[in-house]
Structure 1
Amino acid sequence: MPPVGWRRARAVPPVPAADPSRPEFLTALDGPLSWSSLAHRAGAALPGAEVVKLVVDVRKTPWVPYFLDTVRYQHHVDFCRRLDPRVDARFDQEMYRSEERPFVLLTMTRLPGGAGDVAGDVAGGAGAAEPGAADERWWVEMWPGDTLAAARVVEVVELLRTASGLGGALRFRAASDDQRRRLEQLPPDLRQRLGPLLDQSAIHRGVRFQSLTTGTAHGRLRVLRAHDLPEGLGGLTPYDVVVAATVPLEIGPVAGLVTAEHQTPLAHVAVLSAGRGTPNCAVLGAHALPEVRALEGQWVRLEVSASSWSLEPVEESVARAAVEARLAAMRAGAPTLVRDVRRGGLPRLDERASRDPAVVGAKAAALARLPRRLRRYRVPGFSVPVSAYVAHVETAPAVQSLLAELDRADAGDGSVTEVLARLRAAIRGLAVDPALLAGIRAGIGRWTDEAPLFAGHTDVILRSSSNCEDLPGFNGAGLADSVRLAAGDLADRLLEVWASLWTDRAHLERSAFGIARGAAAMAVLVQPVVPHAAHVVAVTADGVRPGAIDAYLLNLLPAGALVTDAAGAVAEQLYLLDDQPACAEVLTLAVGQDASLLPDRLLDETRDVLKRVDRWVRAGSGAAGADVELLLLDAPRDVPQHDVPLVLLQARPWGVVGG
């Protein structure tokens, strides 16, 4: 806890522009008012947190700390040029990598006790809590790629403890594995002077609010408790605002979502909400709040901003009009599905036919179209084209009858969920042409010739690749299923992927966006399963780190884990990968973890692959970034004769693709 004199610090309001009444900088903090005059809200990453940027001038003795007006100076370089006009293009190398640097650059953060308190949010928005709570935290940190000698770090921290008046309440946070390792190697006397490092997971442990997608939603409030899931998801509509006790693996096109436990930032529901542009946030314990339960079944307005949320009742007519206006906007100019049923065979990824999503679906086509310098990260594969789906599925009388029944149910005559269940069952009961199965088995066998590293490889995945994804105005991510192939069940696995075109979530999503079901079709991408150490889901969208030239959000999980889980349910790790130069900033590690799944040896190559994918996806789709899946190989022996340490699984537009 900070000294008593700090307990009266004012909450720092968000300030959009520099205020001339605020001091440009201070060389010492003498209490709460001086902190308030400089601090700026950190934003969505840590709701309620306040930050002050610091420059320590080490050109002469004694060193001089500058606590900056962080609205005015959002980048250290601007203030450094004020102190020394000779600061030039070598700034990054000199200020972060050199022991002869003139300045040490840091950021100081205050996370108030009770930040993002949920009861206050329901009452009408989050405000910063007053200092003095038992879980309040203060820390200082450097850029994660900074290589300042560990002994000098200790001296800087001691200087700031004195200049801030916080003493031992001010901790140091190691922002990367490299910094942590070097500090842990300090002699015992210096380790004692530095004090315990701030635990990565401890920063986020007290955060009760998490903003995923900002916006406003109207609808009838549905509260789904643990015993309601997952069955309760089936009856949801675009007229529902949902508060869920846990993070569902999937959710239909609802108006807005609040989960009562943290989400992984790239969980399926987070990706779906981002693609739809519907508000999504996590508020710990939201389903049990009396204020929320009192609104259950009523028409409400949900507001989600980067740092707060609110839920309030509205008139039914107002809510319905807002929902209908949103649906009309979603359906305006709905994309037309295109499919090519003339192309048969099993086109390989390196064949021209595989570049056409009308033939092989969006996922396979994206991998086939990769620029030459990215193809080396692609493993071999071939597609069962949409023509095979049409020939097997749409010509079956039972399926034709159920599709007609689905049209009537969509018009209000019958249960859509019940018809879809029977439709999937009918597809799974079809017979598959033995010639097609033989062709697939032969294609798997040909991997021996195309890529000797997969000789005798029998672990195969059948990946859904529909023509209903990555369309103008419609993302369609995560709506169908991919399955691993066990020995002897090829027909069953293939039918399972085909049937997943008609899951509740996929059909309702397409209907909400006004996409006609008639031309929907499923191709299947067949590829080997690659042994790996970590699975990476990355987002390269604008705004991942405001002001950064290239910064990518990475969610890493050990082999076998899924990003669809709630935060903390698996040993996930979240990083920001910077490009000035390549450096991974640790945002969160699972509790109890201290080792990174992203080794230093892979930083440069991972950064380079993400940058190339990002530029290629933006140029081809008009999207604001890319959604990328990678596998990190533990060592070359994981995939013998594979000459790169990464495998590129998927590269698609992030969010809604532009028209």
Structure 2
Amino acid sequence: MRSHLFVVITALLLACSSDSSSTPDVVQEGTCEVTDESSSPSFLARIGCQKDFNALASEPLDTSIPGARSVKVVLDRFDNDTLYFQNSTRYAIHYEFVSANLSGGGRPIVGSLADFNQTEYYSPDRRFLLGSVTYYEGPDVWALEIAPYDSASASMVTRLYEAVRDAGYFGPALFFHPTSQAVEAEAKNLPTSVRVKTTAELFAAIDYQPLNLATSVGRLRFIKAADLATTYLSYRDIVVLDRIPNDISVVLGIITEEFQTPLSHVNVLSQNRKTPNMGLRDATTNSQLRALEGKWVRLTVGAFDWSVEEVTSTEADAYWEAHKPVPVQLPAADLTVTDLRDLEQVVVEGSGSLRDAIKAAIPAFGGKAAHYSVMVNTPGLPIRKAFTIPAYYYVQFMEENGFYARMDQLLADPEFQAKPEVRDARLKEFRKAMEAAPVNATFQSMLKAKLATDYPGLTMRFRTSTNSEDLEGFPCAGCYESHTGDPSDWEDVLDAIRETWASIWLFRTFEERAYNGIDHKAVVMALLVHHNFPDEEANGVALTANPFDPSGLQPGLYVNVQAGGDAEVVHPPPGITSDQFIYEFHQPGLPITYLSHSNLVAEGETVLTPAQVFELGQALDRIHERFSPAYGPKAGNTGWYAMDVEFKFDGEPGQTPTLTVKQARPHPGRGQ
């Protein structure tokens, strides 16, 4: 059995009905059952004091709420409702404890793990009632929880709640915390004596949110997100922001007063850079941080707490020299490919590994097109027909218009190198020149013929696919910008292509490459081309694994989805929330734990229907398995593995919107 992990993230959550307004009684410790502090019993029948709880508790595998500790509980209905608080460090899951301590010797034999899971979480005639008592330090809440897929009735929950309440010194303060939609629905049938505390209420009492776990040393600066457009940051800054910015140049750490989502653009950047990222309520007025403003500090973002301390400039310089990025070597461009190639033929799978086949395609077609090609050749995966414009034509454009020579002049200019405001201004001029330059006539003829033959009458999306994105070691998610063109207005197509090529020279992207020691002129851009999504009903991002479960004991799919419109998912406008949920696709009943709800749909509704969620789950599962030979367990990876997936739900008027996968790339994880 996989024990329940409490998962909570980063946006204003929709509360279900509860009776949590009543104030719990004061908790008073009683007589301790554990008298020897060095002892660690297999179980206790009662929890008389904090020391008892600590002797049995484990840190939850999910670390999204810092400071939480949990003890699993088992109520044996066969043995007159005997209650066991199990040693949750010694026995990580309920099955391990039950099979070791409650099987045989006059008791019924506990069978296989598979049988146990099927019976003890879904059968109305189950022998055991299973749950966990979790203490959440931030909100100061004691909560009884059952697994999100547990089909226990309200009467079963009440029976377990009352037993735990009566056997724990924390009983007067005990709440029941529903952990999924299904459990929330059943919780509405609980008697008023069982007080309910929602995820929303727990989350509202948390002031610290660890996003990317890391340590770095930099100069602490306070900046308003609105001022980032006119404020230049140093590589060695650690910034405190009032809200989540849509974009930010390279820094060594980020603290936002507004909480983030795991797939926010800022967090993806932090994960790519392996730098600390956290949310902290009232960060801009935090006295500890304000006292260190402008000073060199060491910031540590941990799973359960954070710390900041002043260091000397000598220590800061030594840290930078020891930890500055190792220069990244990009795959050398392959300029021998000149055909406009359909995606089915981009990655050639054969005798070698899938990873080698992807790597072989990147020099000519870029990372995005290579991963897209693998998906196109994945049976049953909904994905649009596409082709690529190879990197050769970007290089041709740059050479024919003298842009490489012009960039050499910029790179040799000391003022350009020394002053970020000068770099920003000169790069804008450079992009403007690219956007007005002529495009090779022979290439234009080829492209016109391709679009007229294979995509007649369709507007087209020209998407970046470089040898410096979606790669191991330098994912650079969001570094470049894609554009749409309408072939009925040919100049519109040329504008889209030139603007997309020019995005190589965006200021933030230039800074990201400089930080990683990348040769700017080594970057080449192919284009991934397909019909665009003009009026999608929903757009989203997802991970093919649970980002809060590095152990694998609570697998799930993480989904962040928003209703169609102008609100983006990864960096929405202020005040806009999206649907975020963990989908336990491999559990019976396919439970969904909603972490937040979109405020762009009616209250009580969700962006996706249950049928659409299942359709998405099937696709994410196929993607996870498909890329495992390149990045996952089938490639020998025993650590974190997930694919970062973008998707849309789109349909013609009057039709039910269906899923289309846009892209997939390996995800770097959330740090250590």
- Establish whether TM, by shorter chain, passes 0.5: yes
Name the aligned partner's letter for residue 237 of structure 1.
S
Mapped contact 1:462–1:483 kept (Cα < 8 A): yes
Change (3 A) 1:57 1:437: farther
2:496 and 2:540 mapped to 1: Cα distance?
23
Name the aligned partner's letter for residue 463 of structure 2.
R
Quote the residue 1:296 is aligned against. 293
Quote the residue 2:483 is aligned against. 483
Mapped contact 1:200–1:587 kept (Cα < 8 A): no
Partner of 2:519, secondary structure, is: coil
2:650 and 2:76 mapped to 1: Cα distance?
42
Change (3 A) 1:202 1:525: same
Quote the residue 2:7 is aligned against. none
Quote the residue 1:3 is aligned against. 25
RMSD value over aligned CA atoms?
3.4
Q: Is 1:41 aligned to residue 37 of structure 2?
A: no
Quote the residue 1:173 is aligned against. 177
Partner of 2:27, secondary structure, is: helix
User: Which residue of 93, 105, 114 corresponds with 1:75?
Assistant: 93
Partner of 1:252, secondary structure, is: coil
2:31 and 2:608 mapped to 1: Cα distance?
39
1:588 and 1:549 mapped to 2: Cα distance?
16
Quote the residue 2:326 is aligned against. 330
1:227-376 aligned at under 5 Å gives the runs: 227-232=226-231, 235-327=232-324, 329-331=325-327, 334-352=328-346, 356-370=361-375, 372-374=377-379, 376=381
Change (3 A) 1:205 1:215: same
2:659 and 2:518 mapped to 1: Cα distance?
36
User: Which residue of 142, 151, 156 corresponds with 1:138?
Assistant: 142
Structure 1 residue 568: Cα displacement: 7.7
1:28 and 1:280 mapped to 2: Cα distance?
40
Quote the residue 1:511 is aligned against. 514
Change (3 A) 1:140 1:595: farther
User: Which residue of 563, 568, 571 corresponds with 1:562?
Assistant: 568
Structure 1 residue 552: Cα displacement: 3.4
Name the aligned partner's letter for residue 662 of structure 2.
L
Quote the residue 1:463 is aligned against. 463
Mapped contact 1:211–1:307 kept (Cα < 8 A): yes
Q: Is 1:214 aligned to residue 218 of structure 2?
A: no
Name the aligned partner's letter for residue 294 of structure 2.
G
Structure 1 residue 293: Cα displacement: 2.4
2:94 and 2:467 mapped to 1: Cα distance?
47
Mapped contact 1:631–1:649 kept (Cα < 8 A): yes
Mapped contact 1:247–1:566 kept (Cα < 8 A): no
Quote the residue 1:628 is aligned against. 644
Mapped contact 1:92–1:580 kept (Cα < 8 A): no
Change (3 A) 1:24 1:60: closer
Mapped contact 2:650–2:659 kept (Cα < 8 A): no
Change (3 A) 1:227 1:249: closer
1:73 and 1:65 mapped to 2: Cα distance?
16
Name the aligned partner's letter for residue 3 of structure 1.
D
Mapped contact 2:381–2:622 kept (Cα < 8 A): no
1:636 and 1:53 mapped to 2: Cα distance?
50
Structure 1 residue 588: Cα displacement: 1.4
**Which piece of structure 1 moves more, 489-498 or 431-440?**
431-440
Quote the residue 1:14 is aligned against. none
Change (3 A) 1:425 1:305: same
Quote the residue 1:147 is aligned against. 151
2:654 and 2:648 mapped to 1: Cα distance?
10
1:351 and 1:547 mapped to 2: Cα distance?
35
2:168 and 2:573 mapped to 1: Cα distance?
34
Mapped contact 2:578–2:598 kept (Cα < 8 A): no
Change (3 A) 1:587 1:351: same
1:541 and 1:181 mapped to 2: Cα distance?
23
Name the aligned partner's letter for residue 499 of structure 1.
A
Partner of 2:344, secondary structure, is: coil
Name the aligned partner's letter for residue 152 of structure 1.
M
**Which piece of structure 1 moves more, 27-36 or 461-470?**
27-36
Structure 1 residue 37: Cα displacement: 3.5
Quote the residue 2:660 is aligned against. 647
Mapped contact 1:161–1:170 kept (Cα < 8 A): yes
Partner of 1:301, secondary structure, is: strand
Q: Is 1:610 aligned to residue 620 of structure 2?
A: yes
Quote the residue 2:432 is aligned against. 425
**Which piece of structure 1 moves more, 423-432 or 615-624?**
615-624
1:647 and 1:206 mapped to 2: Cα distance?
38
Mapped contact 2:540–2:569 kept (Cα < 8 A): no
Change (3 A) 1:444 1:175: farther
Quote the residue 2:583 is aligned against. 577
2:652 and 2:135 mapped to 1: Cα distance?
44
Q: Is 1:54 aligned to residue 73 of structure 2?
A: yes
Name the aligned partner's letter for residue 648 of structure 1.
V
1:636 and 1:177 mapped to 2: Cα distance?
30
Change (3 A) 1:101 1:485: farther
Partner of 1:369, secondary structure, is: helix
Quote the residue 1:224 is aligned against. 223
- Deviations 1:67-121 (CA, angstroms, capped at 9, x unpaired): 2232222211111112125231322211222222211221222223xx2xxxxxx
Q: Is 1:552 aligned to residue 539 of structure 2?
A: no
TM-score by length of 1: 0.83
Structure 1 residue 432: Cα displacement: 3.2
2:429 and 2:144 mapped to 1: Cα distance?
59
Name the aligned partner's letter for residue 158 of structure 1.
E
Change (3 A) 1:336 1:136: closer
Partner of 1:362, secondary structure, is: helix
Mapped contact 1:538–1:629 kept (Cα < 8 A): yes
Name the aligned partner's letter for residue 254 of structure 1.
V
1:225 and 1:636 mapped to 2: Cα distance?
42
Change (3 A) 1:559 1:228: same
**Which piece of structure 1 moves more, 100-109 or 436-445?**
436-445
Change (3 A) 1:656 1:164: closer
User: How many aligned positions are there?
Assistant: 608
Partner of 1:540, secondary structure, is: coil
Structure 2 unaligned regions, length at least 5: 1-22, 104-108, 349-357
Mapped contact 2:645–2:665 kept (Cα < 8 A): no
**Which piece of structure 1 moves more, 85-94 or 164-173?**
164-173
Mapped contact 1:382–1:443 kept (Cα < 8 A): no
- Deviations 1:167-201 (CA, angstroms, capped at 9, x unpaired): 574332332222333444x4xxx554545x43332
Mapped contact 2:547–2:558 kept (Cα < 8 A): no
Mapped contact 2:43–2:85 kept (Cα < 8 A): yes
Name the aligned partner's letter for residue 462 of structure 2.
L
Quote the residue 1:86 is aligned against. 110
**Which piece of structure 1 moves more, 462-471 or 405-414?**
405-414
- Deviations 1:323-380 (CA, angstroms, capped at 9, x unpaired): 12212x522xx32332222322422212347972222211011111237434632211
Mapped contact 1:406–1:420 kept (Cα < 8 A): no
- Deviations 1:632-655 (CA, angstroms, capped at 9, x unpaired): 648898878x9xx53222121112
- Deviations 1:457-516 (CA, angstroms, capped at 9, x unpaired): 54x432211111234422222211123446742222222211111112221222222221
Structure 1 unaligned regions, length at least 5: 11-17, 116-134, 449-454
2:451 and 2:655 mapped to 1: Cα distance?
17
